[in-house]
Amino acid sequence: MFYQTIDILGTVAFAISGVLVAMEKRLDLFGVLIIAFVTAIGGGTLRDLLIGNTPVVWMRDLTYVLTIAITVVFGVIFVNQLKYFRKSLFLFDTIGIGLYTMLGIEKGLQAELSPIMCIALGTMTASFGGVLRDILCNEIPVIFRKEIYATACILGGASYFLFTKLPIESNYAYIAAISVVIVLRLLAVRFGIRLPNIYRTES
């Protein structure tokens, strides 16, 4: 129940971020639904395909499809209210990557993968939906730019395995690792922390 709740929350967060991007691009209702759907399930679909968990989870459980549909309706109706939140797209995207990073790691652990592979799986789960969203909306994906995005997922995922070594319940370690991803991403944007630019500027 705990993990399913986290999964649904992550689905809602990413679906809303997809709605906001699609609305900014002035897509029609079908376009908004597709972008929200791809954003919410893109990473999880890649994850399930990689570990051989097929049919993928959203095809076996319509809860995810219904959640996305309801979220799209909510997002379209209350889009103006959502825009009152400062950088609401960034906020929902950040929450989404925190939740999905740990969901990917949990799936990796269930598949008996090594911690490194679990972290990689978590990072892909968190990032790939946003990559598809940005590509379909004709944007350079955030993960390919200098912003701290996948790095936050990697560090947060690594922190989970450190937290599990402490004398605390696994659920607390899980929530703490999600918080690490979210906080790192927030701090990176707040203070302008970026990865080094490999391109030299012309003099």
Q: Tell me, what amino acid is at 51?
A: I
Run means of pLDDT, 10 residues per run, the chain, 203 residues: 80 89 91 95 94 92 94 88 64 87 94 96 94 92 78 95 92 94 91 73 53
Neighbouring-strand partners of residue 194 = 147
pLDDT of residue 177: 96
Q: Please count the CA atoms within 13 angstroms of the CA of 153 that sit on its side-chain side.
A: 29
203 vs 154: CA distance, rounded Å: 35
Cβ-contact 158, 180 below 8 angstroms: no
Please name the residues in contact with 28: beta carbons below 8 A apart, sequence gap of 6 or more: none
pLDDT of residue 8: 87
Task: Tokens 């929450």: give the residue.
Answer: 95
Per-residue burial over 92-120, b if 16 or more Cβ lie within 10 Å, else e, is bbbbbbbbbbbbbbbbbbeeebeeebbbb
| Closest by Cα among 98, 73, 76, 135 to 10 | 98
pLDDT of residue 200: 62
Helix (H) or strand (E) holding 191: none
pLDDT of residue 198: 66
pLDDT of residue 20: 87
99 vs 178: CA distance, rounded Å: 6
pTM of the model: 0.85
132 vs 178: CA distance, rounded Å: 22
Cβ-contact 94, 182 below 8 angstroms: yes
Cβ-contact 127, 43 below 8 angstroms: yes
pLDDT of residue 86: 46
